[in-house]
Amino acid sequence: MAPTPLARSGDVTVVPADHARFADVRTMLGPKNPTSTVCWCLSHRIPARENRELSGPAREAYVEALTRRPTKPGVLAYDGTEVVGWAAVAPRAELPYARSTKIPHVDDQDAWSVWCIRVRPGHRGRGISHVLLRGAVAYAGQRGAPVVEGYPVDNRGAKVDLTMAYVGTRKLFEDAGFSFAMETQATSAGFPRVVMRRPTPTALPLVE
């Protein structure tokens, strides 16, 4: 039985990235070169040293193992049956952000972080990132997160280089119900990054 979508807009639905969908996770995160030491959305999920040491198939195996855990490593967006997007979401306490000197803690709540939002080429400009973010918030809420935060750029409408656009923009998060929480000392693509936050109900209504 197909899982109930976490969020939906038209033909686009968002569901957890479980093991049955690992081939689609590979489509979204796997580098073109299978021996590469980049991507798989690990650079902000695991400590820097471990990230540097993992290469090629070991990176894929690490993420494959994550999809087998009760809490999945993120959510996937589908246009019909075609995977078109990914958003990483996890408890901040499990991420390098927990020890970041540039992105501060707002308070002592067990916040979850959304730090990577990707839409496949050919599908951009359709609002898929908005549906992904809503789905990530819904998933965190279902897993018991009291609050979700992101660290987007405050680009004030200026164009963001696509290679760095995965962090999202302040407006994207505002449109998903997030509020400005704090400045940071981090930058991306030449823009300052801010902490955006929103409380998380245990489940959000579908957005048609």
Distance in angstroms (rounded) separating the CA atoms of residues 167 and 164: 7
pLDDT > 90? residue 38: no
**7-9 vs 12-16, strand pairing mode:** antiparallel
**The dihedral of CA 70, 75, 80, 82: what is its sign?**
negative
CA separation (Å) from 8 to 13, 80, 138, 172? Answer: 4, 11, 11, 16
What pTM, to 2 d.p., does this model score? 0.93
**Alpha-carbon radius of gyration of the chain:** 16
The share of the chain scoring above pLDDT 70, in percent, equals 96
pLDDT > 80? residue 168: yes
pLDDT > 90? residue 206: no
pLDDT score at 62: 96
**For residues 141-162, average pLDDT:** 93
Contact (Cβ atoms closer than 8 angstroms) between residue 194 and residue 180:
yes
Higher pLDDT: 10 or 207? It is 10
Name the residue with tokens 């033909």: 11
First-residue to last-residue Cα distance in the chain: 21
Distance in angstroms (rounded) separating the CA atoms of residues 20 and 199: 30
- Of the listed ranges 3-12, 111-120, 170-179, the least confidently predicted one is 3-12
Classified as helix, coil or strand, 4 is coil
Could you read off the pLDDT of 49-104 as tens digits, one per residue?
999 999 889 999 999 999 999 999 999 999 999 999 999 999 999 999 999 999 99
